């Protein structure tokens, strides 16, 4: 006789467990960043590799020291923070700049709030913001001419230095396909839209990022570039695309504005978050003192995340609006 | 024995146990505003200390004549009197410091540390104890400003005893590039936060 009650075990949720762990997600993000890292090394040479290794190493060691753990890789989040920070640095960054930025990203950006899952702001961007405020000259002005292993064109335009946004008349010389591949001035990981997009598709396929944030972010940039850009880059449509490809929009929209910890969890909230990032970025680009505003846009929207979440709680199925 | 113990407590309380900056977080406006250089920080601390001691003594001696309903305006008038005196003294004898501190000197009037001591201590306690309390809290305030401005100047400027070139000592070689963050207002918040964290660790460890 089958004792049916033995099959009707009632336990509390969760009933479905996933094999995903923090470590597996972080590994996926590292894999997604690989094309961009490869492009950085191809475009900017060995200095890019040194900067990335230094940033990742510092981040992992500082986190291990802070948590008093032997396991330096641990959940992998420190490695992701370090690599993302390296992506926002110029290739000519002196070694101490990378080390200070990486250490402050981990300590001030993450650990003082209580570690992974508790940080309010994206740690890599906190590190970058601290570096920009402290050593703005190094972050914008240092020029490192690319050795150009790729024969893209005759002129050496792939230098890390001031982003093309700070000298728009120079940008007019670049064609959109060139910008898409990454043959332009900028930080290590932000120039190649193609490589970033490949990584982004991988993240979407693995289900780690919600398309609403990058689509809202990039869409807002495109529309505002179209409407307000003044068509300086050929025509209005091209100007919109220029604003998407120039600077750090692709990197920020795909990898930083989609951070699991510091962004809203509700679907509508994510759309609002992305659009807000786009609006602030374009406001800084058009009217601000800095040429680029992605860093500050994402940090400011990070601060709004709890409010956005609060106002966009979805209605449960069957719930009736009280006022109706 | 017990009598003298009270006086020692009054004097020492404000330095560590009830440090106005690190424990009570009072008077944050000058703490964040003028601590870019050690000299400015110490100057601010001493100016506030002088006002605090004087106002504590005067409030304690007038406490029986101050109607409870209007005590706050009266405290403010007393504090403002001493702030005006300090302001004129600074302007006459330390014009460089006066310029560096700028609006923060008149703002001592509304420093809630001084008003707080008047309200919470001097208006209820005898003159001598109020005097000792003012000295203790003043030392604590000056000490905290000194530590914060030292940290900010060393990291933010790479010097000690700046900003005048003849007195400033460069700590590091020519290659050192100061961390501009600490010289700027956001750096004041971050430096204060980090110092508070370190202080809490020390206080907890030694059970202060």
State yes or no: pLDDT of B70 exceeds 50.
Answer: yes
* Backbone phi, psi, residue A144, to 5°: -125, 100
Structure tokens at A163: 């982003």
Q: What is the pTM of this model?
A: 0.84
A108 closest CB neighbour out of B180, B182, B190? B190
Helices of type H across chain A: 22-44, 46-67, 77-87, 95-107, 123-134, 136-141, 168-171, 176-181, 193-206, 212-228, 236-245, 249-251, 267-287, 294-311
B193 membership: H or E segment, kind and range = helix B185-206
Contact A47, A92 (CB under 8 A): yes
Closest Cα to residue A217, out of A155, A275, A137?
A275
ipTM over 0.85: no
Task: Sort residue A158 into left (φ over 0), alpha (ψ -120 to 50) or beta.
Answer: beta
Q: Cα–Cα distance between A127 and A135 in angstroms, integer?
A: 12
Residue A164: C-alpha distances to residues A36, A37, A153, A182, B9 (Å): 18, 20, 17, 12, 63
pLDDT recorded at residue A158: 43
Q: What is the mean pLDDT of residues B158-166?
A: 74
Q: Cα–Cα distance between B183 and B160 in angstroms, integer?
A: 13
pLDDT recorded at residue B100: 86
CATH topology of domain A23-310: Ammonium transporter fold (1.10.3430)
Q: Name residues 64-123 of chain A within 8 A of B (Cβ).
A: 100, 108, 112
Burial of B111 (0-12, 13-18, 19+ CB in 10 A): buried
State whether residue A136 sits within 8 Å of chain B by CB: yes
Residues in CB range of A316: below 8 A, 6 or more apart = none
State yes or no: pLDDT of B46 exceeds 70.
Answer: yes
Residues in CB range of A150: below 8 A, 6 or more apart = A42, A43, A183
Q: Count contacts between A and B (CB, < 8 Å).
A: 20
pLDDT recorded at residue A275: 94
pLDDT recorded at residue B143: 93
Residue percentage of chain B with pLDDT more than 90: 40
Contact A180, A194 (CB under 8 A): yes
Residues of A in contact with B179 (CB under 8 A): 100, 134-135
pLDDT recorded at residue A173: 63
Chunk chain A into consecutive blocks of 10 residues (it has 324) and report each block's average pLDDT, rounded to whole numbers.
Answer: 69 79 90 90 83 93 89 86 91 87 93 89 92 82 51 40 58 72 76 89 90 93 85 77 85 90 91 94 85 88 93 82 63
State yes or no: pLDDT of B169 exceeds 50.
Answer: yes
B184 closest CB neighbour out of A100, A108, A133? A133
State whether residue A140 sits within 8 Å of chain B by CB: no
Residues of B in contact with A134 (CB under 8 A): 179-182
DSSP B121: I
Helix axes A123-134, A77-87, angle to 10 degrees: 40
pLDDT recorded at residue A155: 39
> Do the chains contact at B179 and A135, CB–CB below 8 Å?
yes
First CA to last CA across chain A, in angstroms?
54
Residues facing A144 on adjacent strands? A160
A134 closest CB neighbour out of B180, B193, B194? B180
Q: State which of A38-47, B79-88, B100-109 shows the largest mean pLDDT.
A: B79-88
> Do the chains contact at A133 and B177, CB–CB below 8 Å?
no
pLDDT recorded at residue B87: 93
Residues in CB range of B201: below 8 A, 6 or more apart = none
Q: What is the mean pLDDT of residues B66-81?
A: 92
Q: Name residues 22-51 of chain A within 8 A of B (Cβ).
A: none
DSSP B174: T
What is the rounded radius of gyration, in angstroms, for the C-alpha atoms of chain B?
A: 18
Residues of B in contact with A133 (CB under 8 A): 180-181, 184, 186-187
B181 closest CB neighbour out of A112, A130, A138? A130
A135 closest CB neighbour out of B180, B194, B197? B180
Closest Cα to residue B57, out of B137, B123, B140?
B123
Residues of A in contact with B157 (CB under 8 A): none
Residues in CB range of B92: below 8 A, 6 or more apart = none
Residues in CB range of B17: below 8 A, 6 or more apart = B23, B208
* Backbone phi, psi, residue B41, to 5°: -60, -50
Structure tokens at A196: 């970033």
Burial of A310 (0-12, 13-18, 19+ CB in 10 A): exposed
**Domains of chain A, residue spans:** 23-310
């Amino acid at each position: 006789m089958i004792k049916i009650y033995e099959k009707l075990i009632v336990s509390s949720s969760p009933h479905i467990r996933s094999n995903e762990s923090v470590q597996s997600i972080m590994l996926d993000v590292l894999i997604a960043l690989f094309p961009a890292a490869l492009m950085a090394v191809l475009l900017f040479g060995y200095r890019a590799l040194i900067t990335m290794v230094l940033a990742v190493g510092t981040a992992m060691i500082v986190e291990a020291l802070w948590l008093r753990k032997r396991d330096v890789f641990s959940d992998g989040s420190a490695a992701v923070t370090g690599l993302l920070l390296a992506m926002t640095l110029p290739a000519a960054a002196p070694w101490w700049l990378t080390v200070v930025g990486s250490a402050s990203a981990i300590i001030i950006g993450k650990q003082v709030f209580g570690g992974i899952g508790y940080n309010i702001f994206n740690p890599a961007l906190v590190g970058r913001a601290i570096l920009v405020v402290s050593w703005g000259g190094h972050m914008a002005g240092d020029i490192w001419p690319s050795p150009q292993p790729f024969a893209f064109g005759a002129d050496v335009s792939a230098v890390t230095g001031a982003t093309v946004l700070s000298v728009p008349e120079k940008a007019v010389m670049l064609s959109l396909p060139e910008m898409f591949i990454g043959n332009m001035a900028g930080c290590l990981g932000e120039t190649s839209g193609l490589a970033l997009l490949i990584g982004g598709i991988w993240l979407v396929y693995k289900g780690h990022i919600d398309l609403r944030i990058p689509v809202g972010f990039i869409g807002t940039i495109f529309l505002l570039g179209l409407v307000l850009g003044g068509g300086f880059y050929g025509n209005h449509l091209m100007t919109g695309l220029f604003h998407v490809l120039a600077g750090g929009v692709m990197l920020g929209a795909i990898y930083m504005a989609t951070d699991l910890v510091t962004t809203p969890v509700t679907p509508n909230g994510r759309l609002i978050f992305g659009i807000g990032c786009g609006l602030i970025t374009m406001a800084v680009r058009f009217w601000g003192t800095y040429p680029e505003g992605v860093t500050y846009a994402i940090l400011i929207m990070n601060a709004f995340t709890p409010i956005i979440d609060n106002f966009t709680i979805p209605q449960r199925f069957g719930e009736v609006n009280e006022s109706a | 024995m017990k009598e003298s113990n009270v006086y020692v407590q009054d004097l020492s309380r404000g330095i560590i146990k009830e440090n106005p900056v690190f424990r009570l977080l009072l008077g944050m406006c000058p703490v964040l505003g003028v601590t870019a250089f050690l000299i400015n920080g110490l100057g601010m601390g001493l100016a506030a200390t002088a006002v605090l001691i004087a106002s504590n003594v005067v409030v304690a001696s007038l406490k029986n004549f101050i109607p409870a309903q209007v005590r706050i305006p009266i405290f403010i008038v007393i504090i403002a009197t001493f702030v005006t005196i300090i302001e004129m003294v600074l302007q006459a004898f330390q014009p460089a410091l006066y310029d560096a501190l700028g609006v923060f000197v008149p703002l001592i009037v509304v420093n809630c540390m001084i008003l707080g001591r008047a309200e919470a201590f001097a208006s209820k306690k005898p003159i001598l104890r109020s005097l000792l309390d003012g000295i203790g809290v003043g030392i604590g305030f000056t000490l905290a400003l000194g530590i914060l401005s030292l940290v900010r100047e060393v990291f933010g400027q790479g010097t000690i005893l700046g900003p005048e070139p003849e007195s400033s000592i460069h700590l590091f070689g020519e290659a050192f590039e100061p961390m501009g963050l600490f010289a700027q207002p956001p750096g004041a918040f971050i430096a204060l936060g980090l110092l508070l964290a370190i202080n809490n660790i020390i206080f907890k460890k030694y059970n202060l």
